[in-house]
Amino acid sequence: MLTMLHVLATKGSAVWSIRPEAPVFEGLQLMAEKDIGALLVMERGKPVGLLSERDYTRKVVLRRRSSHDTPVRHIMSSPVSVTCDCSVDACMAIMTSSRTRHVLVMDDVQLRGLVSIGDLVKATIEDQQFTIVHLEQYISS
């Protein structure tokens, strides 16, 4: 069973963040620079939200706000979190029911990383390929 620890070991645990008072434009620049779809919003060393491309399109573009004048705090989403021992399947179910594409991975109160639905799909595919190779070797021996 694949867990979030396995996913983080493969993907890495680097998390990019932004302050809630920062302008949305600053967040968009950082997401473009790092080629990521979401940023963790941190205040006083604690996660308080997520800023995603989806938040930007729905809460800035569609409402004709300015990304230069709108603070991240006004459009960020509430973070959803899972534990390190959460399985990939359980995490996918949580993401589906929460209608989110990113979740925080927490170890007690410490942040361990941020995973996207793409990270989970990649881990699932790799796990299935590993199983297929081993089954083929078993059958041919």
The pLDDT value given to residue 84: 96
Q: Span 89-103, mean pLDDT?
A: 96
Judged against a pLDDT cut of 80, whether residue 141 lies above it is answered with no
The first and second tokens of residue 119, run together, are: 């990270």
Q: What is the assigned CATH class of domain 4-140? A: alpha beta
The pLDDT value given to residue 67: 95
The pLDDT value given to residue 32: 97
The pLDDT value given to residue 5: 95
Q: State the pLDDT confidence band at 93, using cuts at 50, 70 and 90.
A: very high
Q: What are the distances in angstroms from CA 41 to CA 19, 24, 47, 48, 135?
A: 6, 11, 6, 6, 44
Q: What is the DSSP string of the chain?
A: --BHHHHHHHH-----EE-TTSBHHHHHHHHHHHT-SEEEEEETTEEEEEEEHHHHIIIIITTT--TTTSBGGGTPBPP-EEETT-BHHHHHHHHHHHT-SEEEEEETTEEEEEEEHHHHHHHHHHHHHHHHHHHHHHHH-
Q: State the pLDDT confidence band at 78, using cuts at 50, 70 and 90.
A: very high
Mean model confidence pLDDT for the chain = 94
Residue-wise pLDDT tens digits, 45-61? 999 999 999 999 999 99
Q: What does the domain layout of the chain look like in residue ranges?
A: 4-140
